[in-house]
A and B are shown apart, each in its own frame.
Chain A
Amino acid sequence: MKRFVIFLGLLLLWGGAAMGQSKGFMELYGKAGEALEKGQEGITTVEISGKMLQELVPSKAKERFSIVNRIEIIRQIKFAQGAPIGIFEKMEQLAADKSVYEQMSLMNVDGQRVAVYKAPYRKLQSEYLILISKDGAALVCDILGNVSMKDILDLLYGK
């Protein structure tokens, strides 16, 4: 019985880790998907797997340590100018939850307000939640994989 309880505990822990993106993010991502299905204009969701990214950027994929070989999945919610940004605001509230995310930086890149948050993911991996806004348009980007803050900065500055 004791062994069974330990096994069950480990299974639950593994299941939680394998889920990937935080529960709160996935709920809001799901809501964005629902809004899209209902025909809400101005909101789009994008999901790019690491393999897809490698296909899109083959020259980077050839480099052994390139970020495209270390990203597991990227999920994005894009809000066009004038679109309701309720989900974006909820995402900001979620990011402010210090029990889940750690704020890494708040900066201005090319006139865009960029906030980067980090949460641990599996062993030695990370989840980065990036909130970008400019002139009423906004983007929520969540990256899972073996990435660092330097990788995120390189992506933001297009290096």
Chain B
Amino acid sequence: MKKLFVLCLVAAGVLVAAESDAQVLKLGVEGLTFKDTTYHDALYAHSVINVKKNINGKGNTGIVIGGSRRSSIRPFELGWNMADLATAGDFFDINSWKSTQVTINPFNLSATSRKGTLGLSIALGIRANNYSFNDAITMEKVGGMVNPVNLEGNVKKSKFTTAAIHVPMEITIGKPYRLAFSVGGFADLNINSHTKIKYKGGKKDKLHRFPVNFIQAGFTARISCRYLSLYCNWYPGGVFKDGRGPEMQVWSVGIGL
């Protein structure tokens, strides 16, 4: 999983996009005129690491790290997961504070209206969902079903993690780097799922390949203001395939930077 994150960041660094100036100065027989093209481009592609060209001087090309000002989807998101179990008392009892959701969106594509107040944003990234168990339990796969296993010994932490390719899409009203409200959906294509147990003393255990939904789709609502956004995600389909694990709906709230 960590390797995947690193790979994604490297890819973002390699596939750079040149950013051009939003305002253009021109000198002609009409005098010095300037054209504001800030929101004139209908379609705008952006990667989290950009090479910004300065046309006015030598050697002024710089690397800029950051998201698109026109997209509501931020390059980095940190959230916290909450599981709403269909059957009360089911074993998937998680500690929400420790169950983090980490998302990196290195690539962004946005289409906006001329004034930039209405837009559609789509991104490509990776997402890791961590579910940290409250009790000293873990899970195992028996006959394709997920079953709880009680842990013995000095357990420091036990969690279940899924890693996915994240494709969000949002419709935005307002300017994301001023004030905007967005609603949309996302599809997480799960590529990895595993449990991880950390024992006191440093020993670790891992179990891979659980019957999780390959596509975890959900809905998002977001408020963006300046460099910060607050979002709420809802996964109505839960984590596991039907009948093969605890049924639940997952909610997550977090911040985007």
Contacts and interface: CB of A to CB of B under 8 A. Distances in A.
A154 B60 CA distance: 15
A118 interface: no
A129 interface: no
Contacts of A96: none
Contacts, number: 73
A159 to B, nearest CB: 5
B28 A132 contact: yes
Given A56-B34, A63-B54, A156-B26, 13 more contacts: A57-B34, A59-B21, A59-B22, A59-B38, A60-B21, A70-B56, A76-B32, A78-B30, A112-B28, A139-B30, A150-B56, A155-B25, A155-B27
Interface in A111-125: 112
Nearest to B33: A158
Contacts of B24: 158-159
Interface string B12-29: 000000000111111111
Interface residues of A, number: 37
A58 B22 CA distance: 10
B23 A60 contact: yes
Nearest to B59: A65
Contact of A46 (B21, B31, B57): B31
B36 to A, nearest CB: 8
B54 A112 contact: no
Contacts of A155: 25-27, 32
Given A137-B29, A155-B32, A156-B28, A65 B54 contact: yes
B56 A110 contact: no
B250 to A, nearest CB: 41
A67 interface: yes
A106 interface: no
B58 to A, nearest CB: 8
Nearest to A155: B27
A-B pairs, top 6 by smallest CB distance, nearest first, are A158-B26, A155-B27, A65-B57, A59-B22, A59-B23, A65-B60
B202 to A, nearest CB: 48
A95 interface: no
Interface string A126-152: 000010111001110100000000111
Interface string A67-111: 110100010101000000000000000000000000000000110
Contact of B25 (A65, A68, A132): A68
A133 B29 contact: yes
B55 interface: yes
A53 to B, nearest CB: 8
A78 B34 CA distance: 16
B38 A110 contact: no
A151 B27 CA distance: 11
B193 to A, nearest CB: 44
Contact of B55 (A59, A138, A159): A159
Nearest to A70: B56
A41 to B, nearest CB: 17
Interface in B23-74: 23-32, 34-35, 38, 54-57, 60
